[in-house]
Each structure stands twice: as C-alpha cells, then as structure tokens.
Amino acid sequence: MELTKELILTLRSLSGIGPKKILTIGATIKDRGVNIDSLESLQKLMTSIKDKKIQSVKLDDLEIAYKKAMDTIRYSEANEIGLIGYYDDEYPKVLRKAINEEGKLDPPLLLWYRGDISVLTMPAIAVIGTREATPEGVLGGEYLSGEFAKRGFNIVSGLAVGCDTCGHKGALKVGGKTTAILANGLDHESIYPPENQDLAEEIVQKGGLLLSEYPIKSTVNRYNLVARDRLQAGLSLATLVVQTGIKGGTMHAANTTLLAQKELFVMRFKNEATNNHEKCQGNAYLYGKGAKYIKGSDDIDKISEDIKNKKVVETDLFESV
C-alpha cells in the first residue's frame, strides 16, 4: 500500500520532514511491499529507515499531525476543494517528471483543486507572460489560446493579470478548457490576484480547474509564485510566451521548459514597435536560447499535431523517483 494523500499531508506538517524524505518513505514502502494500514505501522516503518529525522518521529507526533490533516481536508471539502496525492491514480503522470529551474526533480506531492479534475487528462499548453501586456499582446494571446483550446488543449496559466488572463479568457471564449495554477490556497478569501476572483469562478463554472500545491488559507508570497512556475511548465507539453521582458518572472517557467526539453514558443508580432517594446524584448532573448517564433498566421493545426506527437526525450532528469 502506497502513501495516501491523508498520510502525505500528515507527514508534511512534521518539522524536518520535507518532500524528499516523504518520497524516501514512499519508495521504502514500495520496495519492501509493506502494508501501511495505520499510524502505528507507518511509525514502525519510519524507525527502520536510515535517516535520523525520519527515525525520530514519534507516534504521538503522527497522531497530532494526522488530526490536523483530517481537519484541513474536512474544512476544504466543505468549501468544495478536493485533494489528490502523489501516489493517487488521478495524479497527472507528467507532473511526476516536473523539474525546477535547477533541473532537479521537484514534483508536488499534493494537489488541491476546485473544478473538474478530469481536465488534467487533456494535453496541455502553458500560456504565460508579463502582467503588463500591450493591447497587441492581449489580442494575440487570446487568439492563440483559443486556437489551441479548439484543438483539444487544456490552456494552463497562473490567473495573473495580463498575459495569464488572456490565456484563460481565450480558452473560455471558444468553449475550451483551462487550468489556473495558483500560488495560494483555493478558498475564496485567498484567491490572488483578487481582481481575478470572478475569472476564477468562471473557470470552475465552465468546466475548468483551479489547482494549487498549497492548502486552504495559504496566502501568496514571492517564493510560492516562483515555485508555481515549474508546475505550469511541468503540466504542459509546450509553453507559449505571449510577451515578456528580459528580466520578467515569466523566465522561470520558460527556462524550465527549455531545460525539460519541451517546446517553447514566443509570439512575434506584425508591428515591429510591439516586438521592440520593453515588455516584449524577452521574446527575442528566448528565441536566441532555443525558443521558436509563433505568429497568428501560422499553421496551428500542424503545430498542434507536432506538440501532441513529439516524444519526450528521456534523460536522467526524467528518471522515476
């Protein structure tokens, strides 16, 4: 028996027990073929693992943490927020290969969600960019997002104002599906940015998904925003940058996409003044690093098929945990 989402949440709340140690516990359970059917059996297994922090966890610690975990889950369910864990069947396989900007495996162990979780079975493309998009960027981002959504892609973005918003809206306008990955809890009081609260509700109402690795009542911070970017790239087969400055936060997801050897597209506009805009100069920079230009006049059918059919290059980065 593998670690349940309840037990992962329990372990996450223990001091000194982070994701790597939880994955070590999970791998030990799998390797030994043991059945973890109680907190007692979990604690017994942990005492046999050669790691001082893991060995030091007492049964009382687990019992207190488990009660806290179950309270969180019940409170979340009351707010229509579900939870899936790393070892659950519903967990998207592509996220098990998620890497961070340093190229290290960094999958989320828990995923909180509101909306239709089956959206995660669709091929996805991330649509990202600056919060200060130009009018041409908004129009172009909405158009391409809609075109990919019409071809069966789940449009993944981060609910931020600007390019993220045009990605979500582009999908919704054509009746497509979209997933917003947030850097905070999914309860109404925590939605960030607050000006996109209505958009978040529209995504859920129209069969899309809100997704986060953070539990209810978690507020946004700079670290969470950077960490969120790896999930946008990790969940998607390709990433589309609408517009970005050279030093924009978009670079986190873009660099991770390139490092994971996935397709990275950057928009190129008819108007050279737009291409030379401060908030678009990162597009040319990323093109120089290996991204491909994409324009509204390109053959989206061919690009879509190429993305869906592209085989993931197996490297040491993608070894199973």
Return the amino acid letter for 64.
I
- Going by the DSSP 8-state scheme, the letter that residue 102 receives in this structure is T
pTM of the complete model: 0.93
Mean pLDDT of 296-316: 77
**Which region among 15-19, 44-48, 247-251, 264-268 has the lowest average model confidence (pLDDT)?**
247-251
Q: What distances in angstroms separate CA 131 from CA 10, 62, 299, one per listed residue?
A: 36, 43, 27
Determine how β-strand 82-85 pairs with β-strand 209-212.
unpaired
CA distance 182 to 4: 23
Q: What is the strand order of the sheet 238-241 is part of?
A: 82-85, 110-115, 209-212, 177-182, 154-157, 124-128, 238-241, 263-267, 292-294
Q: Which two tokens stand for residue 36?
A: 């973890």
Mean pLDDT of 51-65: 97
Mean pLDDT of 144-153: 98
Which DSSP string corresponds to 70-95? HHHHHHHHHTT-EEEETTSTTS-GGG
Task: Write down the pLDDT at residue 191.
Answer: 92
CA distance 96 to 235: 9
pLDDT in tens, 131-142: 999 999 999 999
Distance of CA 6 to the CA centre of its chain: 21
Place of tokens 């200060």: 132
Percentage with pLDDT > 90 across the chain? 93
CA distance 9 to 144: 38
Task: Write down the pLDDT at residue 306.
Answer: 94
pLDDT band at 321 (very low <50, low <70, confident <90, very high): very low
> What is the topology classification, in CATH, of domain 112-312?
Rossmann fold (3.40.50)
pLDDT band at 319 (very low <50, low <70, confident <90, very high): very low
Domain ranges within the chain, ordered by starting residue:
1-78, 112-312
